[in-house]
Amino acid sequence: MTTILWFRQDLRLDDHPGLLAAVARGPVQPVFIWDPEGEGRWAPGGASRWWLDRSLRQLDHSLRSKGSWLLVRTGGTAKVLSALAEEIGADRVIASRRLEPAAIDQERAVAEALRSKGRDLDLHQTSLLRAPEDVRSGSGEPYKVFTPYWRSCLRGEAIDLPREAPESIRSPKSPPRGDSIGSLGLAPTIAWDQGLAETWTPGEAGAHSRLAAFAAGAVKSYGSGRDRPEIVGTSMLSPHLHFGEVSPRRVWHAIGGGRATRPADADKFLAEIGWREFAHHVLAAFPRTAERPLRPEFERFPWRRDAKSLRAWQRGETGYPMVDAGMRQLWRTGWMHNRVRMIVASFLVKHLLLPWTAGAAWFWDTLVDADLANNTMGWQWSAGCGADAAPYFRVFNPVLQGEKFDPEGGYVRRWVPELATMPKKFLHRPWETPPEVLRQAGVVLGRSYPSPIVDHAEARARALAALAETSRRTSA
């Protein structure tokens, strides 16, 4: 019987359990359904749509090399899949499981629609090393703290070796008609994506190239390099993992996760893969956290509403060079170094006292690796309101962070070119620079580069006062 392989966030052929199961049954019709309404408010943002457009084209190319092709259709997913199964006589739909709330609702609707016609939906675990239900505390509850969670994961059964893509894929005798990828309107209509195109190669081949380069190079100094944004010290695999262009099993074994002993730097990176897993497990257990804090006392937090300050943060015009460099890197490339993500997030929720949801929404639209679980956990971590979060009273000083993690200023000079000739001593604190030094550097504060929109000491005191007010409201 013919099987429909419903591609979602699993845009690859390598190490794809669902694909292998479908091929073993007989003819396969791969399909991708563009259904932004089915994703609710978390439909892909602008940068994600750019990536998806290119990744789908690469997936179609890979399928054609195996004798198949990618059918593309639009509309309500359950209705489209049910009609397609009827049209080609398919008795089963195979798909990769997702854990976002809207995606789970979508799976239920698809299963019900198929069941009513005597057909089945089979879901496979393809995006994580371990399913959420397989990692529980001693009391059977989901973990809220990373360290015991990760210990439990490491004590579990060994991670299976990745499996190769099938040699060929049989297609149905009468192929159905579909839409073109271009007709989905995912590509931008204005030329804003040059920096994305210069930085990234979406698709499975790009993912494996990036993984191979990291495994052969940067992972060897990952422990020290991962906090230095001016160098390529991280894997930059996050968008490839989000879109499923490479499996976490493939990454795990490429970095030595299957070996009994491995370098400490490899362990540090594998723990970051663990944080990705943890984020998805937390979202699956607490789906409300996509929009509401895990810690209920933060429902009462006195967040401000300040469109002008939010806009300055989004544009990278806060007057704090490390913050501005990160926000400009994000706008230009669709990505930001993880250390800098923590700095800019802390600045938004603590210096500006703006809600973490505003930051999460901006990241959602501008990150090529915008992932609901990771984005939610990262922002709730910074805001002190999530699982295993940093305490809210830990307020990053953006000046000290810049001096510590960008000591030579290479990162700031690249992304904030108006400060390129500033001496290292004053680069991260230009408002303290003597007038003559500013003049020699060609910097006019408030004109060529903004003055700080908030004073660090005053902002820190205001943030701690807000935390105290939240505590009073909670205990009242």
Same-domain pairing of 55 and 24: yes
pLDDT band at 45 (very low <50, low <70, confident <90, very high): very high
149 and 260 assigned to the same domain: yes
Tell me, yes or no, if 107 is annotated catalytic: no
- Residues 254, 240 share a domain: yes
- Count of domains in the chain? 3
Structure tokens at 428: 């991260």
User: Residue 53 to residues 39, 72, 430, 468: CA-CA distances in angstroms?
Assistant: 17, 12, 41, 47
Query: What's the Cα-to-Cα distance from 356 to each of 52, 195, 245, 298, 311, rounded to whole Å?
Result: 26, 26, 29, 11, 14
Catalytic residue among 252, 362, 379, 415: 379
Tokens matching residue 140: 């059977």
Tell me: do 114 and 248 sit in the same domain.
Answer: no
**Co-location of 222 and 103 in the same domain:** no
As a whole number of angstroms, the longest Cα–Cα distance in the chain is 80
Portion of the chain with pLDDT greater than 90, in percent? 93
CA-CA distance, 468 to 281, in Å (whole number)? 31
Query: What's the mean pLDDT in 395-408?
Result: 97
Q: What is the CATH number of the domain that holds 85?
A: 3.40.50.620
Catalytic residue status for 275: yes
Q: Does residue 454 lie in a domain region?
A: yes
Is the pLDDT score of 303 beyond 80? yes
Q: For 76-131, what is each residue's pLDDT tens digit?
A: 999 999 999 999 999 999 999 999 999 999 999 999 999 999 999 999 999 999 99
Is residue 172 in some structural domain? no
Measure the CA–CA gap between 214 and 90, rounded to whole angstroms. Answer: 41
Indicate which residue of 39, 69, 297, 303 is catalytic: 303
Same domain, 82 and 113: yes
Indicate whether 226 belongs to any domain.
Answer: yes
Q: Does 90 fall in a domain? A: yes
Question: Nearest-5° angle of CA 275, CA 276, CA 279?
Answer: 85
Tell me whether residue 272 is one of the annotated catalytic residues: yes
Question: Hey, what are 126's tokens?
Answer: 């393809």
| The total number of residues written for the chain in this structure | 476
* DSSP bridge partners of 472: none
Q: For position 191, what pLDDT does the model report?
A: 85
Question: Looking at the predicted structure, is the pLDDT value of residue 474 above 90?
Answer: no
Q: Specify whether 120 is located in the same domain as 136.
A: no
pLDDT in tens, 231-287: 999 999 999 999 999 999 999 999 999 887 888 999 999 999 999 999 999 999 999
Last residue of a domain, one of 75, 101, 126: 126
- On the question of pLDDT at 476 being above 70, the answer is no
pTM over 0.75? The answer is yes
Residue 310 shares a structural domain with residue 246: no
**CA atoms of 375 and 52, how far apart (whole Å):** 18
**HSE, side-chain direction, 13 A CA sphere, residue 192:** 12
For residues 316 and 438, state if they share a domain: yes
Same domain for 364 and 316? yes
On the CB side of 411, CA atoms within 13 Å amount to 29
Sign of dihedral through CA atoms 125, 127, 130, 136? negative
272, 297, 317, 403: the catalytic one is: 272
150 is catalytic: no
Residue in 200, 356, 362, 381 annotated catalytic: 356
Annotation says 375 is catalytic:
no
Domain span holding position 22: 2-126
> How high is the mean pLDDT of the chain?
96
Check 69, 317, 338, 403 and give the catalytic one: 338
Active site residue 303: yes
CATH of the domain at 411: 1.10.579.10
Q: How far apart are the C-alpha atoms of 371 and 48, rounded to whole Å?
A: 9
Claim to verify: residue 340 and residue 391 sit in the same structural domain? yes
Q: Which two tokens stand for residue 238?
A: 């996050």
DSSP 8-state assignment for residue 298: G
Give the end of a domain, one of 102, 126, 150: 126
